[in-house]
């Protein structure tokens, strides 16, 4: 009998240990395989600028792995670990007036790893809960502003449609009676509507003035006020227009100058018309779209964090068999983020208001504006890109074969070709190379989750991906190479010698075609992107008469690396207007006018940046913008001196060019690395870099800094005058210009990385859209209503 009992106990212990090992094995699989799948989804749904505010899922999983190791050791040595004390519970302690800290207390047999895990989990959850609560409070404040804006818009619609209408005395009572009739008509479809168009317009607007407020009297959200209750109805008061100024006048050079000259004007009388109403509606519509986007992101933030927390707790239970998920999630449900439903309710009310007031109650159209479909990559784009790339490769091979077969390098006309035709085609080389670098930048920005559409201010869904930019550059390369080959073929073939005029007009025709595509008004070839680019170029040209945005000074910085492209454009004008292009001859360098503009076009981009810095210095009171302006001023001086040396030569000009260029290069290099890239911080976590880095290999940053310094010294070629026997002077100048474009492309990535990390540090994830109306008689609200910060 004793033998049977011993054998039975042994079998029981074996199966118990086998079960424990199987449980631990399954838990290990869940952590290793299931974690990766959810982490990818969690990362894809994460708003990059809020990354630090999300639950640190990977760190918590790492702590679970530590617990798993301890459980494996216990499972091999101690059978009593199967008996668990399930007395895990949660306590909520208030710290201060608004911060709630969550703490977990455990059973006595909790391991050290479990204590560390729950302390970290409590910290992460408290962080998420506090961040969500702060953002909801911001949203509620913005709801109040939008509520006021809608009141003004409805009153303005009534005033524009009925200029003589006055909301006082009998007229107010008449409008109230009309509104009551309208409400009755809505509830009873058999009741005929008022026949007059003016009265119908008043009904439509006054009916929803306060009936669809975003907030109720208790400070919460009104769930339903469209039930036809006449007791809560109050017509839109037109007196509000006496205390409101319209802020939708477009910023133009003329309006900027007018505002400067009439700065102390006290004429606040409003002149309402349909043009102003339409602009206000468009502006407020954009405000609603951005606000709705913020609400959606905040709702997604809540959902993804709660889901991550739930998954972490379930993995913990799989490992420890404590069954702690239920009690922990009960406390989560009672927290602010777990119990608050303000965002969902506000979303519904915003959608209803937007559809009714901006889309004529067409819900499909309204939701299409509020929830634009995500831009997807098209197979057609990839196919055409591959086709263009293949054709480009074929043309490059053909070009090399033609040059070698006909020995064009050794012919007497090569110098004439390099002096007259090569500068015409080099313009396209500069543009293509810059586009290729931009495509590379986009690819790496996406790889490292840099939110470049938000930073540049692109309209959602209109930004170009790297495939689209590569497609455009490949198409332009194909056209350029075809032009070069056509030029050579028509020049060399005996049958086409008489068509020299057509031969020389090939580059000009290509330039006209590119400009025609850029300014094409039809909705083809990425019209929104083209027009956005043209508007930004115009704002750079008109500096400082426009308020400087990020895309403005970023684009102006790109133009500073395209000095040779501007000079090529100048050569186009001189060659085809003043030169004898039929004989492939020009006297541009002998023209005083050409030489004068040779100076001007070289400093135009730096001059634009200088004016932008001065405007930001005046508006933002930022002293660093003054120093940045001095940097561009030193560059302007250096470029002017180098250009003078290039035209006149001489030892004195050479020395002046070297000194001025060295000063400008030193200032620019320092600003690039320290200010624009945010590197070389002494006390950072990453020595001589910065605290936060997107690239894990820190050596990349040091290599980039060294390359930036080396490429900044490319100006030495202009003053030292290096001689390369197998290269023409213009070819060497083109190579140096291309090196500057490559340096700018490298600068772009690290510049945007630093800007993105600054947005992450300050949780800036939404555009700041100015509101169309502001109150100027109410001191407490005039400042608050000018714009919303999101």
What pLDDT sits at residue 1?
47
Q: Contact 762/756 with Cβ under 8 angstroms?
A: no
Q: What percent of the chain has pLDDT over 70?
A: 74
Q: Where are the beta strands (DSSP E) in 225-299?
A: 244-246
pLDDT in tens, 6-35: 444 444 444 344 444 444 444 444 444 556
pLDDT in tens, 290-331: 999 999 999 999 999 999 999 998 888 888 887 888 888 888
| 489 prior amide bond cis, ω within 30 | no
pLDDT in tens, 539-582: 999 988 888 999 999 999 999 999 999 999 999 999 998 877 87
What pLDDT sits at residue 516?
95
Give the pLDDT band (50/70/90) at residue 80. very low
- Under 8 Å CB-to-CB from 705, ≥6 apart: which residues? 673, 677, 679, 680
C-alpha 249: how far from its chain's center?
A: 25
- Under 8 Å CB-to-CB from 44, ≥6 apart: which residues? none
Helix (H) or strand (E) holding 786: none
The whole-angstrom separation of Cα 469 and Cα 385 is 10
Please give the backbone phi and psi of residue 334, each rounded to the nearest 5 degrees, phi first: -85, -5
pLDDT in tens, 151-203: 888 888 888 877 665 544 444 444 444 444 344 333 433 334 333 333 333 33
pLDDT in tens, 388-409: 999 999 999 999 898 888 877 7
Please give the backbone phi and psi of residue 101, each rounded to the nearest 5 degrees, phi first: -110, 130
3-state secondary structure 653-684: HHHHHHHHHHHHHHHHHHHHHHHHCCCCCCCC
pLDDT in tens, 85-100: 334 444 444 433 445 6
Q: Is the pLDDT of residue 477 over 90?
A: yes
pLDDT in tens, 419-437: 888 899 999 999 999 999 9
What pLDDT sits at residue 140?
92
What pLDDT sits at residue 577?
86
3-state secondary structure 66-103: HHHHHHHHHHHHCHHHHCCCCCCEEEEEEECCCEEEEE
Token pair of 718 as six digits? 């202009």
Please give the backbone phi and psi of residue 707, each rounded to the nearest 5 degrees, phi first: -60, -40
- What is the average pLDDT score of the chain? 78
The better pLDDT of the pair 34, 670 is held by 670
Give the pLDDT band (50/70/90) at residue 107. low
Least confident of 46-55, 286-295, 374-383, 488-497: 488-497
What pLDDT sits at residue 666?
93
- Under 8 Å CB-to-CB from 105, ≥6 apart: which residues? 88, 89, 90, 91
The better pLDDT of the pair 57, 768 is held by 57
What's the average model confidence in pLDDT over 445-473? 90
> Pick from 266, 230, 314, 328: which is nearest to 60 by CA?
314
What pLDDT sits at residue 750?
96
The better pLDDT of the pair 377, 14 is held by 377
What's the average model confidence in pLDDT over 663-675? 94
pLDDT in tens, 677-726: 999 998 889 999 999 999 999 999 999 999 999 999 887 877 777 666 77
Q: Is the pLDDT of residue 2 over 60?
A: no
- Phi-psi sector, 360: left (phi>0), alpha (psi -120 to 50), beta: left
What's the average model confidence in pLDDT over 107-119? 79
What's the average model confidence in pLDDT over 515-534? 92
- Which of helix, strand or coil describes residue 244? strand
Token pair of 523 as six digits? 């909705």
pLDDT in tens, 609-663: 999 999 999 988 888 999 999 999 999 999 999 988 888 777 888 899 999 999 9
The whole-angstrom separation of Cα 261 and Cα 122 is 58
The distance in angstroms from the start CA to the end CA of the chain is 80
CB-facing half-sphere around the CA of 710: CA atoms within 13 A: 9
Query: If you count them, how many residues does the chain have?
Result: 790
- Under 8 Å CB-to-CB from 180, ≥6 apart: which residues? 230, 233
What pLDDT sits at residue 410?
77
Q: Is the pLDDT of residue 442 over 70?
A: yes
* H-state helical runs in 188-227: 197-206
- Under 8 Å CB-to-CB from 256, ≥6 apart: which residues? 545, 546
The better pLDDT of the pair 142, 9 is held by 142
């Amino acid at each position: 009998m004793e033998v049977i009992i011993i054998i039975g106990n042994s079998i029981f212990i074996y199966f118990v240990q086998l079960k424990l090992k199987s449980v631990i094995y399954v838990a290990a699989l869940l952590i290793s395989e299931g974690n990766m799948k959810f982490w990818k989804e969690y990362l894809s749904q994460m708003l990059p600028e809020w990354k630090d505010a999300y639950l640190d899922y990977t760190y918590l999983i790492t702590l679970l792995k530590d617990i798993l190791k301890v459980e494996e050791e216990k499972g091999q040595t101690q059978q009593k670990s199967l008996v668990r004390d399930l007395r895990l519970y949660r306590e909520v302690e208030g710290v201060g007036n608004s911060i709630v800290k969550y703490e977990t207390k455990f059973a006595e047999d909790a391991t050290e790893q479990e204590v560390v895990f729950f302390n970290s989990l409590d910290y992460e959850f408290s962080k998420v809960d506090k961040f969500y609560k702060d953002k909801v409070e911001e949203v509620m404040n913005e709801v109040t502003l939008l509520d006021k804006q809608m009141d003004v818009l409805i009153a303005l619609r009534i005033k524009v449609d009925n200029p003589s209408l006055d909301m006082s005395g009998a007229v107010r009572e008449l409008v109230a009676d009309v509104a009551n009739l309208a409400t009755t008509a809505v509830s009873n479809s058999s009741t005929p509507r008022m026949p007059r168009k003016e009265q119908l317009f008043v009904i439509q607007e006054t009916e929803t003035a306060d009936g669809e407020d975003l907030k109720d009297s208790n400070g919460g959200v009104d769930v339903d006020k469209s039930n036809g209750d006449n007791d809560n109805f109050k017509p839109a008061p037109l007196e509000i227009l006496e205390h409101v100024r319209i802020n939708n006048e477009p910023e133009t050079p003329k309006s900027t100058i007018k505002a400067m000259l009439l700065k102390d004007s006290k004429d606040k009388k409003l002149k309402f018309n349909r043009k102003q109403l339409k602009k206000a509606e468009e502006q407020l519509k954009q405000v609603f779209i951005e606000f709705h986007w913020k609400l959606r992101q905040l709702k997604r933030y809540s959902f993804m964090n709660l889901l991550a927390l739930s998954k972490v707790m379930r993995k913990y239970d799989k490992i420890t068999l404590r069954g702690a998920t239920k009690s922990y999630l009960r406390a989560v449900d009672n927290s602010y983020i777990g119990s608050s439903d303000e965002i969902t309710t506000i979303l519904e009310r915003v959608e209803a208001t937007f559809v009714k007031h901006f889309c004529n109650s067409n819900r499909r159209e309204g939701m299409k504006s509020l929830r634009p479909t995500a831009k997807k990559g098209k197979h057609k784009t990839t196919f055409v890109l591959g086709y263009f790339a293949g054709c480009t490769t074929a043309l490059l091979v053909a070009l090399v074969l033609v040059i070698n077969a006909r020995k064009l390098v050794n012919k007497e006309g090569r110098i004439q070709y390099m002096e007259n035709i090569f500068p015409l085609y080099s313009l396209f080389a500069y543009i293509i190379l810059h586009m290729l670098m931009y495509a590379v930048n986009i690819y790496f920005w996406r790889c490292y989750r840099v939110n470049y559409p938000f930073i540049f201010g692109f309209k959602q869904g209109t930004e170009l991906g790297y495939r689209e930019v590569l497609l455009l550059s490949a198409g332009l390369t194909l056209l350029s190479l075809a032009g070069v080959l056509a030029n050579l073929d028509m020049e060399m073939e005996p049958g086409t010698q008489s068509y020299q005029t057509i031969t020389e007009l090939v580059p000009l025709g290509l330039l006209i075609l590119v400009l025609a595509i850029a300014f094409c008004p039809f909705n083809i070839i990425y019209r929104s992107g083209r027009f956005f680019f043209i508007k930004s170029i115009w704002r750079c040209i008109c500096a400082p008469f426009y308020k400087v945005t990020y895309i403005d000074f970023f684009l102006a910085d790109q133009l500073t690396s395209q000095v040779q492209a501007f000079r090529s454009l100048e050569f186009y004008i001189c060659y085809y207007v003043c030169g004898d292009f039929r004989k492939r001859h020009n006297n541009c360098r002998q023209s005083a006018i050409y030489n004068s503009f040779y100076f001007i076009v070289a400093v135009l981009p730096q001059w634009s940046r200088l004016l932008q810095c001065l405007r930001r210095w005046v508006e933002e009171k930022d002293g660093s913008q003054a120093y940045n302006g001095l940097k561009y001023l030193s560059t302007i001086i250096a470029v002017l001196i180098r250009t003078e040396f290039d035209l006149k030569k001489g030892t004195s000009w050479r020395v002046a060019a070297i000194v001025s260029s060295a000063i400008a290069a030193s200032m620019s290099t320092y600003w690039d690395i320290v200010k624009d890239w945010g590197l070389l911080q002494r006390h950072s976590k990453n020595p001589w870099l910065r605290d936060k880095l997107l690239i894990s290999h820190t050596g990349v940053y040091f290599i980039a800094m060294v390359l930036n310094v080396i490429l900044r010294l490319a100006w030495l070629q202009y003053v030292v005058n290096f001689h390369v026997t197998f290269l023409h002077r213009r070819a060497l100048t083109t190579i140096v210009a291309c090196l500057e474009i490559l340096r700018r492309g490298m600068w772009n990535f690290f510049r945007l990385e630093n800007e993105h990390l600054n947005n992450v540090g300050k949780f800036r994830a939404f555009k700041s859209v100015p509101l169309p109306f502001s109150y100027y008689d109410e001191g407490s609200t005039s400042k608050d209503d000018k714009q919303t910060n999101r």
